[in-house]
Amino acid sequence: MTQDRDIHAYLAEFDDIPGTRVFTARRARQGYQLNQFAMSLMKAENREHWKADERAYLADWKLTDEQKQAVLDRDYTKLLDLGGNIYFLSKIFSTDGQSFLQAVSTMSGMSLEDYTAMMIAGGRSPEGVRSIKGKN
């Protein structure tokens, strides 16, 4: 009743939103191992192993080399492109002692100070970033 009846048209619209990766089935499949790895950091003993030797910890997971490097680099924009989901990736930055504000600001192209100031001033306006095609 409320959704587009054509699944292809429904999914195609998601690619028309600037700077946004909607966590679709395609991304969920691409990022399965990456997200499950991140999830493993919910256990305190796993966090200890991870902190002791990140590369050795990653060796036990079937991530692509590109995904592994992006994890080591804490490149969250890249990780989203490689199928990561922010709520799974949050286990990595939480283990680093970072807040959502700190981690999310790294994807915005702004410094933490500027990003925080933007949020206090009311956040980013939706004007001009709703649709690529519609330029609104």
61, 78, 108, 112: which one contacts another protein (CB under 8 A)?
Answer: 108
Q: Locate 13 and state its tokens.
A: 């619209």
The type of residue at 44 is A
14 counts as binding another protein under rule CB under 8 A: yes
62 counts as binding another protein under rule CB under 8 A: no
Cα of first residue to Cα of last residue in the chain, in angstroms, is 26
- Whether the CB-CB separation of 80 and 21 falls below 8 Å is answered with yes
70 counts as binding another protein under rule CB under 8 A: no
Q: What does DSSP assign to residue 15?
A: G
122 counts as binding another protein under rule CB under 8 A: yes
3-state SS assignment for residue 119: helix
Q: Please name the residue that has the structure tokens 């990766």.
A: 21
The type of residue at 22 is V
Distance CA 112, CA 134 (A): 30
30, 49, 86, 112: which one contacts another protein (CB under 8 A)?
Answer: 86
Q: How many residues bind another protein (CB under 8 A)?
A: 60
Q: How far is the CB of 65 from another protein (least distance, A)?
A: 21
Positions in the binding site for another protein (CB under 8 A): 1-4, 10, 13-14, 17-25, 28, 32, 35-36, 38-39, 41-44, 47, 76-77, 80, 85-88, 90-92, 94-95, 97, 99-101, 104-105, 107-109, 115, 118-120, 122-126, 129-131
